[in-house]
Amino acid sequence: MKDPGEVNRKPVAILNRDKSNRIIYLSARPRQTITLDTAASYDPDNINPPKMKKETLNQIQTLLFPWKIILAALFALVIASGCMNQLPVPEVQQWTSHEITLISQSSYDNGYTDIDVRASFTNGNGDTLLRPAFWDGGKTWKIRFAPPDTGSVWTWEAFSEPADRGLTGKTGKLHSVAYTGNNKLLRHGLLRMSPGKRNVIHADGKPFLVVGDTPWSIPFRATTDQVKIYAADRMNKGFNAALLMSVQPDMYAEGPDVRNTVLGFARGFDDLHEGHLNKLRPDYFQYLDSLMQILVDHGIVPVYQPVFHGFGWKGKTVLGPTADPDEYARYCKYLVARFGSMPAFWLVSGDAHRLDPGVKPGGEMTEKWDCYHQPTGIHYNPADDYLPSWARGDSSRCFHYNRSYQDEPWLDFQWAQTGHDGLHLYHKVERMYDNKPVKANLNGEPTYEGMGNGKNGLGWWQGEEAWNQLMHGGTMGVVYGAVCLWQWKITPDEPGWDSWTNAPMSWKEAMAQEGSYYAGLVSKAFEGFDFADMERRRDLTDSDRYILVKEGLFYIAYLDKGDPITIKNMTSGLPYYWFNPKTGVFEAEGLASSEGTFKAPDNNPWVLIIGERKFKQ
């Protein structure tokens, strides 16, 4: 026999040289079965291997026998120890966000661009949802998942490209349970489009009428304490959505890298001013997490706009129109990864025209990676059918008719803009309602209150605007805006904006303007009613007036002077209510007759609502 060093591979067994054939070495791994056949066991370096004697084989079997017992005992001990140390499966309430943290084995020059990480989640029914991970700085990646059901065990597995042993193959479980909180958004689930595509609904079918505000600059200017004040005010007034520039979009804006400071703004990317979206700053988005959570906690859905395409923050050349399409799409995916397990809208283009290069890739990327399919859409500039003076003769950003990408499957809604001259313009939503295929629509930017150095769109102008935009076909909802709030002015005299979009107010003073009260009341009128996919109808009234209808179930009409109204084919016995749009009070009610004639309490503005309340808050 030979020593171990004399052979060209590691031996299984070595026998003594003195011909006693006594075993002096045996190599075996736990649970490994070793079979030595006397016809096949030999010295691998011997050309004519001798057969192993029978007594040697018996000796090996005798030696292995107690080791089988020992190994079996050790294996049982390992299994038992594993069971004792196994972490319990976490319980996650339906529609709440569960966060998983992964640590990469390798370091990357740029974790945002150098590696792609995702996870699949599968329940016992075979339902599978795919969620992208997001880089959170250093070697940390996070995955956020909201279970859409209750009573399921979801198993997840992470993957990365290129493969990283700290990210690929990691697995876990979670147990979905019923939601027990009181958040009115999470109680009904994440958002999606209604079957007829004209409205937004929750996962449980409860309709969601958008009543949006435009604090566009919160993400890069506001503090958590300020957003708590803002969110409480807007929640109490009835707002349920906030349109946001996710990063400051102007390439040539200048100021300190500080929030709540005159001229200051936080940076989301270190290279945006160079025309790129590659050097993401995790600390910026970690702070943004806290701001967005405050909004959601107050029942306000963030509307995420990646990088603006029009005026921007100060009109200093926004990146959106010239952004690299791949970089823009990757950033859309990042927003879905980071915020997509909470209520959200995706506004892939802001203040846009037609076909900026990143919009379609961004929309397609959002559709691909948002497994919950929350609503995705476009917000336009006002030059839908004319050449404005600010275009300086260049029509390339005009004549979009608020219908770019109308045929695209990733597009759910279109939002018009009527400009800031204090004019009531209803023809845009009126035309958009008739576009095919159907996409939900509204006026996403009426005249902001106080524009034009504090003169335009004041007070009840905002209430009248909101109700008429609804009735003329903007059935997705209404949007309000306020000068100095949208740019989040720190002090009344902070410089940086021309008079057309300025006034001597801070954000907090602008927030208190009267018109916000009237716009917010719109949501209170619709609360509890089954209005999803309501249709604009003029043929059902005795006058040349639009009303919104789900025939036989729900009717709503705005009567600016409290005029009597007759609605044809009225279902007898349906309850009706008179809602005061200036006070938010339901002041009279009754049961409809088959004649369908209704007389308002007086000659002031009133809203007539007919139908059963089917949903709780």
318 alpha-carbon distance from chain centroid? 23
| φ/ψ (deg, to 5) at 415 | -120, 120
State residue 8's pLDDT score: 43
**Widest Cα–Cα separation across the chain:** 120
Q: Can you give the pLDDT at residue 393? A: 86
Instruction: State the CATH architecture for 91-177.
Output: Sandwich (2.60)
Angle at 425 between CA 422 and CA 428, to 5 degrees: 140
- 249 closest CA partner among 216, 201, 291, 214: 216
Of the candidates 410, 469, 464, the one whose C-alpha atom is nearest the C-alpha of residue 445 is: 469
Domain spans of the chain? 4-85, 91-177, 191-266+296-322+341-511, 535-611
Question: pTM for this structure?
Answer: 0.87
Residue count of the chain, please give it: 617
DSSP letter, residue 537: E
Q: Is the Cβ–Cβ distance between 244 and 303 less than 8 Å?
A: yes
Task: Tell the burial category of 166 from Cβ atoms under 10 Å away from its Cβ (0-12, 13-18, 19+).
Answer: middle
Here the contacts of 461-464 (C-beta below 8 Å, separation 24 or greater) are 461/422, 461/515, 462/514, 462/515, 462/516, 462/518, 462/519, 463/515, 463/518, 463/519, 463/521, 463/581, 463/582, 463/605, 464/424, 464/560, 464/605
Q: ∠169-117-96 over CA atoms, to 5°?
A: 90
φ, ψ for residue 41, nearest 5 deg:
-80, 130
Can you give the pLDDT at residue 342? 98
Q: Which residues of 498-518 are buried (b: 16+ CB within 10 A; e: fewer)?
A: eeebbbebbbbbbbebebbbb
Q: At 140, is the secondary structure helix, strand, or coil?
A: strand
261 CB burial (10 A radius; 0-12, 13-18, 19+):
middle
Q: What is the pLDDT of residue 80?
A: 45
What confidence score (pLDDT) does residue 35 get? 53
Among the listed residues 299, 328, 260, 330, the one whose alpha carbon sits nearest the alpha carbon of residue 115: 330
Which amino acid is residue 450, in one-letter code?
G
Please spell the DSSP secondary structure of 260-296, one letter per residue: SSTT----SBTTGGGT----B-HHHHHHHHHHHHHHH
User: What pLDDT does residue 245 have?
Assistant: 98
Query: Mean pLDDT by 10-residue block, N- to C-terminus, for the chain (617 residues)?
Result: 44 48 50 50 44 44 45 46 66 98 98 98 97 98 98 98 98 98 97 98 98 98 98 98 98 98 98 98 98 98 97 97 98 98 98 88 98 98 92 88 96 97 98 98 98 97 98 98 98 96 98 98 98 97 93 97 94 96 96 95 97 91
Q: Kindly state the tokens that stand for 515.
A: 């018109």
Q: Where are the beta strands (DSSP E) in 200-239?
A: 200-202, 207-208, 210-213
Cis before residue 162, ω within 30 degrees of 0? Answer: yes
Backbone angles phi, psi at 283, to 5 degrees: -65, -35
Which pLDDT does position 256 carry in this prediction? 98
Return the CATH number of the domain spanning residue range 191-266+296-322+341-511. Answer: 3.20.20
**CA pair distance 315, 318, nearest whole angstrom:** 7
Question: What's residue 33's pLDDT?
Answer: 54
Question: Rounded to the nearest 5°, which phi and psi values hold at 537?
Answer: -130, 135
How far is Cα of residue 483 from the mean position of the Cα atoms in its chain?
A: 27
Q: Which two tokens stand for residue 89?
A: 């499966």
| Cα angle value 496/215/356 (rounded, 5°) | 80
Distances (CA, A) of 230 to 115, 235, 507: 37, 9, 9
Strand order in the sheet with 98-103: 98-103, 140-145, 134-135
* Rounded Cα gap, residues 436 and 433, in angstroms: 9
| Pairing state between β 440-443 and 413-416 | parallel
Q: Which residue bears the tokens 């006070």?
A: 583
Peptide bond into 90 cis (omega under 30): no
Burial 373-406 (b: 16+ CB within 10 A, else e): ebbbbbbbbbbbeeeeeeeeeeeebbebbbbbbb
CB-based contact 482:253 (threshold 8 Å)? no
Q: Which residues contact 85 (CB under 8 A, 6 or more apart)?
A: none
Spatial separation of the C-alpha atoms in residues 160 and 180, rounded to whole Å:
35
| Assigned token pair, 98 | 């569960």
- Separation of alpha carbons 460 and 514, rounded Å: 8
**Cβ contacts of residue 445 below 8 Å, gap of 6+?**
214, 351, 379, 382, 415, 416, 417, 418, 419, 479, 481
463-488 as b/e, with b when 16 or more CB fall inside 10 Å? bbbbbbbbbbbbbbbbbbbbbbbbbb
